[in-house]
Amino acid sequence: MATTLISTHAGAEARCDARRGAALALDRFGAVERPELAYTPEVARETAPVYEKVRHIIPPIEWPALAPTIHAINRLKKERNAVILAHNYMTPEIFHGVADVVGDSLQLAIEATRTDAEVIVQCGVHFMAETSKILNPSKTVLIPDMRAGCSLAESVTAADVRGLRERNPGVPIITYVNTSAAVKAECDICCTSSNAVQVVESLGVDRVFLIPDKYLAANVARQTSVEVLTWDGACEVHERFTAQELRDYRRIDPDVKIIAHPECPPEVVAEADFAGSTAHMINWVKTRRPAKVMMITECSMADNVASETPEVEYIRPCNLCPHMKRITLSKILDALVEMKEEVLVDPDIAARARTAVERMINLKS
């Protein structure tokens, strides 16, 4: 198995693209005035329904500081003909306050193909914004902070994939959606944690590569007779959970239900009552309505789903994703005011990456 490569080069290129893109996008869309951010009676009234959804997690004293930005973003979104796609790991004020579409990577990728909006603001990490751009080449895709990366996406480069192919001719290469556009362009098909087993089995072969997440690959391998080869990447958030930690929680509270994300190590998944993508975890809680549940994933998940399941008690042994947490309300507002930071993908890379992503989407439908 190859060792992990951390590429800073891709990040530098992305920042360069962002500077070029910001200037171009502002030229195309024109400037708007930065809104006044005051907690007026009108702002209080219009944001009251949002506060109802987040009151379990945001104290009333903090709301006057957040509400004006939420109000301004929702107004500006209309003015800019923009849609906000937000991952399940966004903080509650983003998830419930300004997002038009929420979901896991697969749901956001699919929604990105359905939007009529001219501008997509991706509240998530850079590979998600690239995926939206790949599927919507004519739209303007903005990310509120170009530095929002991902340890999985940074663990593998396009050159690494070409090397894998040379050394393993004929073995299909599936890329988890958490990779750059350049990596997707070198792979046969994409997958998410929702559909990885289905994608592996769809290829009709005995052996595949599923890169770059070694834990997702190991968890998939347990559910299929196909041999699953992988790469040495890992999610820095999910790999920190341990099986011992879960056993300790169960010992303290034997009634708690534990659900885990498949980016966790296999021994952690083995200790859980259920494992699935963020969307599957949310569905599991909404359907089963356990008295007490522990979500073994990023912190904001439990915060976001709690408002829809008030009778469920959440135990929160979560880990924060520092990349997801770069996306804040004030940066979303800046993105819409200044039309930054625009995500650009080389058209040739985008076309090849699109083939891999569309193969996955078509499999789903």
- Mark the binding-site residues for iminosuccinate, compressed into ranges: 87, 105, 176-178, 193, 261-263, 278
First to last CA, the chain: 34
Give the integer Cα–Cα distance in Å for 38 and 44.
10
> Considering all CA atoms of the chain, what is the largest pairwise distance in Å, rounded to the nearest integer?
66
Task: Give the contact letters, 70-89, x = binds to ligand SF4 (CB under 6 A), - = no.
Answer: --------------------
**Where does this chain touch ligand SF4 (CB under 6 A) — which range of 149-157, 190-198, 219-227, 245-253?**
149-157
C-beta closer to ligand SF4: residue 177 or 339: 177
Q: Please tell me whether residue 268 binds ligand SF4 under the rule CB under 6 A.
A: no
Write 244-251 long-range contacts (CB < 8 A, 24+).
245/317, 246/271, 246/272, 246/296, 247/271, 249/294, 249/315, 249/317
C-beta closer to ligand SF4: residue 71 or 323: 323
User: Is residue 100 packed enough to be buried (19+ CB in 10 Å), middle (13-18) or exposed (0-12)?
Assistant: middle
C-beta closer to ligand SF4: residue 70 or 216: 216
Q: Please tell me whether residue 321 binds ligand SF4 under the rule CB under 6 A.
A: yes
Q: Please tell me whether residue 235 binds ligand SF4 under the rule CB under 6 A.
A: yes
Instruction: Compute how many residues bind ligand SF4; rule: CB under 6 A.
Output: 13
Bind-site residues for [4Fe-4S] cluster:
150, 235, 321
**Where does this chain touch ligand SF4 (CB under 6 A) — which range of 29-37, 51-59, 195-203, 317-325?**
317-325
Rounded to 5 degrees, what are φ and ψ at 120? Answer: -115, 125
> Among 152, 181, 196, 332, which residue sits at the site for ligand SF4 (rule: CB under 6 A)?
152
Cα separation values, 206 from 135, 171, 210, 219, 224, Å: 30, 9, 13, 17, 10
CB of 104 to ligand SF4, least distance (A): 10
Q: Helices marked H in the chain — which ranges?
A: 9-29, 41-54, 63-79, 92-95, 105-114, 126-135, 158-167, 181-186, 196-202, 214-221, 243-252, 266-271, 278-288, 300-306, 329-338, 347-364
CB of 149 to ligand SF4, least distance (A): 8
Give the integer Cα–Cα distance in Å for 172 and 152.
20
- Per-residue tokens: 263: 């980016």
**Where does this chain touch ligand SF4 (CB under 6 A) — which range of 138-146, 235-243, 306-314, 352-360?**
235-243
Interacting positions 291-310 with ligand SF4 (CB under 6 A): 298
Give the integer Cα–Cα distance in Å for 216 and 105.
15
Q: Please tell me whether residue 150 binds ligand SF4 under the rule CB under 6 A.
A: yes
CB of 289 to ligand SF4, least distance (A): 26
Q: Please tell me whether residue 327 binds ligand SF4 under the rule CB under 6 A.
A: no
Q: Please tell me whether residue 146 binds ligand SF4 under the rule CB under 6 A.
A: no
C-beta closer to ligand SF4: residue 70 or 102: 102
Task: State the sign of the Cα–Cα–Cα–Cα dihedral 181, 330, 84, 57.
Answer: positive
229 DSSP assignment: E
C-beta closer to ligand SF4: residue 150 or 220: 150
Amino acid 195 reads: N
Give the integer Cα–Cα distance in Å for 119 and 32.
15
**Where does this chain touch ligand SF4 (CB under 6 A) — which range of 94-102, 303-311, 319-327, 342-350?**
319-327
Q: Please tell me whether residue 335 binds ligand SF4 under the rule CB under 6 A.
A: no
Q: Please tell me whether residue 324 binds ligand SF4 under the rule CB under 6 A.
A: yes
**Where does this chain touch ligand SF4 (CB under 6 A) — which range of 54-62, 131-139, 230-238, 286-294?**
230-238
DSSP 3-state of 180 = coil
Bind-site residues:
87, 105, 150, 176-178, 193, 235, 261-263, 278, 321
Q: Please tell me whether residue 236 binds ligand SF4 under the rule CB under 6 A.
A: yes
> Among 178, 194, 230, 278, which residue sits at the site for ligand SF4 (rule: CB under 6 A)?
178
The per-residue b/e assignment along 181-216, b for 16 or more CB within 10 angstroms, e otherwise, is bbbbbbbbbbbbbbbbbebbebbeeeebbbbbbbbb
Which residues of the chain form contacts with ligand SF4 (CB under 6 A)?
125, 150-152, 178, 235-237, 263, 298, 321, 323-324
